[in-house]
Amino acid sequence: MEKIETVNALKLNFLELWKNISDEETQSLIKYQNTTVVENKIKSHCTVEFDLDKTMLTFHSYASIAYLSAELIVNAKIFLDNNKKNYILLARKIIKNNLMFCIVYSNIKELSQYPALGISVDNMIEFLESNNSEERLKEHYKTAIK
């Protein structure tokens, strides 16, 4: 793995980690619980821009999306903050032959009002990679509903 200084390096490091972690570590990353072993594997690669908390949260999102995309789980609970206060439940949906994700529930009111509205995989990943995921998702809904 390399120092995480760009989103591309973040993605490449996730793929490398994903190939080399145990089933237990995979589940801890998806559930975002007991992640100490995973944190120890990546903390030396973190930087100021991509600190451990942000990297772990993004890796949690990637892992959940990977499992959801493979239809191994029905709904993926993705945390939007490190203290696990704000979250979304994503469901996989095919809309016009395109894989989309729908936020079927969130404890953030603005994100749970349109459970049938799909968000493309690329957009969802971009939103979750950002430092302000919650605000980016809210803005997406504001513009998509108009």
- Reduced 3-state DSSP string for 23-74: HHHHHHHHHCCCCHHHHHHHHHHCCCCCCHHHHHHHHHHHHHHHHHHCCCCC
Query: What token pair was written down for 132?
Result: 């302000």
Residue 2 lies in a domain: no
The tens-digit pLDDT sequence of the chain (146 residues) is 899 999 999 999 999 999 899 989 999 999 999 999 999 999 999 999 999 999 999 999 999 888 877 765 667 888 998 888 999 988 888 878 888 889 989 999 999 888 888 899 889 999 999 989 999 999 998 888 76
Rounded to an integer, what is the distance from CA 21 to the centroid of its chain? 18
Cα 92 to Cα 34, 45, 58, distances in angstroms: 26, 31, 19
- Structural domain boundaries, residue 27: 7-145
The b/e string for 77-88 (b: 16+ C-beta within 10 A; e otherwise) is bbbbeeeeeebb
Residue found by looking up tokens 């994100």 in the block = 111
Residue 101 lies in a domain: yes
Residue 106 lies in a domain: yes
Torsion angle of alpha carbons 63, 49, 136, 108, nearest 10°?
Answer: 70
pTM of the predicted structure, to 2 decimals = 0.75
Total number of domains in the chain: 1
Instruction: Say whether 2 sits in a helix, a strand or coil.
Output: coil
